[in-house]
Amino acid sequence: MSAILAKTQKVLYILRMLSIAEHIKQICAIFTDTLGIDDSRNLSFEVDITKDMTKGDLYTNLPFVLSKKLTKNPVAIAIDLHTYLENNLDRTLVEKVEVAGGYVNFW
């Protein structure tokens, strides 16, 4: 019985994280619009569940994608994105936002 409960809890966790990831992705897309990139809505970036839970529940690689378009350091973009997210995310969904290299991690 406990194995079934554990699997159910894992599935529910994944579904919740994917729902939060979609919210984060929408806010990230709005951030890209503020940068004046012509095709910002066609950028292919991830907001996904981390493999290493010590680095958060979710992450985005958007700063790396933008660094190619803007020819700017991904860490600098990650810092700008972090600031934008801190002011625009639904804080009932995301407890903490952190820059890690060029990634942005979420708890």
Neighbouring CB atoms inside 10 A of 6's CB total 10
pLDDT value, residue 81: 98
User: How far is Cα 73 from Cα 52, in angstroms, rounded to an integer?
Assistant: 24
1 pLDDT more than 70: no
Structure tokens at 50: 């981390």
Q: Quick one: angle between helices 2-34 and 62-70, nearest 10?
A: 20
pLDDT value, residue 42: 85
| Neighbouring residues of 88: CB distance < 8 A, sequence distance ≥ 6 | 27, 30, 31
Write out pLDDT tens, residues 15-37: 999 999 999 999 999 999 999 88
Please tell me the total number of residues recorded for the chain in this structure: 107
pTM higher than 0.85 for the full model? Answer: yes
Write out pLDDT tens, residues 42-93: 899 999 999 999 999 999 999 999 999 999 999 999 999 999 999 999 999 9
